[in-house]
Amino acid sequence: MYSFEPNEEQQMLIDAVGKYASNDLRPAAHDAEESRELPKKLVNKGWELGFLQASTPEAYGGFGERSAVTGVLALEEMAFGDLAGALAVLTPSLFATPILLGGSEEQKQQYLPKIVGGDWAPYTAALMEMSFDFDPNALKTTAKADGDTYVLNGEKIFVPFAKDTEAMLVYASLDGVTQGFIVTKGTAGLSISEEREKLMGLNALPMYRVKLENVAASRLGGASGHNFELILSAMRIASASAAVGVARSSFEYARNYAKEREAFGVKIAQKQAIAFFLAEMATEMEAIRLLTWEAAWKLDNNKDDAHTTAYLAQAGAADMAMMVTDRGVQIYGGHGYIRENPVELLLRNGRGFASLLGLVII
């Protein structure tokens, strides 16, 4: 039976996250980007909304079951507030969610209660590599079996909070197949850059480069490993829903601005050139939002084409976010180019969805 209505529980979560996004994240976004710093209180407040906790079963210290649909609903709201802030709040999920999806019983017991039971703590994951043809299914970082453990070699980029992390999940190619490996703080051969990564956007999110030289690690899921596709698709739909949130933020700023700004004696929103822009932005956002919901629903229900749909949602979302955030700036005209106004940051963040992967998972 088709239905496009979130259930009561989901609606409560959407409302709570939406409030946090509008009242806390959104007003802080500009200064956080410029000062390259997210207030700790802000991140803690987001963590206390309990999104990861509600997605973790009681047996592992949480109070609910993971639902990809609930995840995309909540993440769109949070990313609407601020992408960097949303990614920071959800960084522990980069480590915890793959364990939930593919970890061994022992790994779940060892990490999940500690993460969801405590304050926000910088557990993280390293997927991306500095290569133009970066492909999550063809990583250059390698893993080799060495008795019961594995040895990792390679270099990872854009790893959020790597400097402070207790443990991170590093993705590497094991005989051509991508697998996650748990690397703990201080392991020999693990080095983390002093300098933070510098990107076009997302500067409030502290990211580091991670080098691995014969680093000993344990494999996610133990000796038999795990299904990486499940993790990848969870990253893809997360990316898609975050893109919808960022786009909606730009759309709303632009719509409100167009209703205020006058030219030729009328509000510019009364000109078809602007009104049609906005109509198309709204239409494209809705299209990708629904595709993302469907992909999430297919993942929750183990449908045959779930992974393909997640891939399509992510690809479509990258284009949509670019189109919408670009038009957001265009509608502001010259003012859109000035960093005092919010839409240029959204354009920089919007472009990221085509290049970035593995910075968020739900």
Partner 1 sequence: MTIDFETPKPILQMQVMLQTVAENMMRSTSREFDENEHAIPWDYVEFMHTAMRSMGGGGGLTVTEDKPKEGAEKRPPLGYQKLAAQIEMLAWGDVGYYLITPGGGLGAAAVQAAGTPEQKAKFLARFNDDKPTYAAMCMTEPGAGSDTSAIRARAILDEATKEWIINGEKIFVTGGDKSFTEYEKLGKGFIVVWASIDPSAGRSGMRAFVVESGTPGVKITKLEHKLGIRASDTASISLVDARVPFENVLGSPTVEKTTTGFKGAMATFDATRPLVAASGLGVARAALEFLKEKLKENGVEIRYGLPRNKLTSIERDVIDMDIQVRSAWLMVLKAVWMADNKKPNALESSMSKVKAGDVTTKVTQKAVEILGPLGYSREFLLEKWFRDAKITDIYEGTGQINRMVVARQILGYSGAELR
What residue ranges bind partner 1 (CB under 8 A)?
1-7, 10, 69, 73, 132-135, 137, 255, 258-259, 269-270, 272, 275-276, 278-280, 282-284, 286-288, 290-291, 293-294, 297-298, 301, 307-309, 311-313, 315-316, 318-319, 354
- Nearest CA-CA partner of 12 in 42, 50, 44: 50
Q: Which is nearer to partner 1, 192 or 354 (CB)?
A: 354
Angle at 27 between CA 23 and CA 31, to 5 degrees: 150
Considering Cα of 349, then 89, then 233, then 305, what sign does the dihedral take? negative
Nearer Cβ to partner 1, position 121 or 287? 287
Structure tokens at 313: 């949602």
Backbone angles phi, psi at 57, to 5 degrees: -60, 155
Nearer to partner 1, 23 or 131 (CB): 131
> Which of residues 11 and 214 has its CB atom nearest to partner 1 in the complex?
11
Nearest distance in Å: CB 297, partner 1: 5
User: 3-class DSSP state for residue 188?
Assistant: coil
Beta carbon of residue 280, minimum distance to partner 1 (angstroms, whole number): 7
Hey, what are 217's tokens? 């690690």
Select 144 or 351, whichever has its Cβ closest to partner 1. 351
Shortest distance (Å) from residue 293 CB to partner 1: 6
CA distances (Å), origin 172, targets 138, 181, 264: 9, 7, 58
| CA 271/CA 122 separation, integer angstroms | 48
Q: How far is the CB of 222 from partner 1 (least distance, A)?
A: 26
Q: Is 310 strand, coil or helix?
A: helix
User: Closest distance between partner 1 and the C-beta of residue 8, in Å?
Assistant: 9
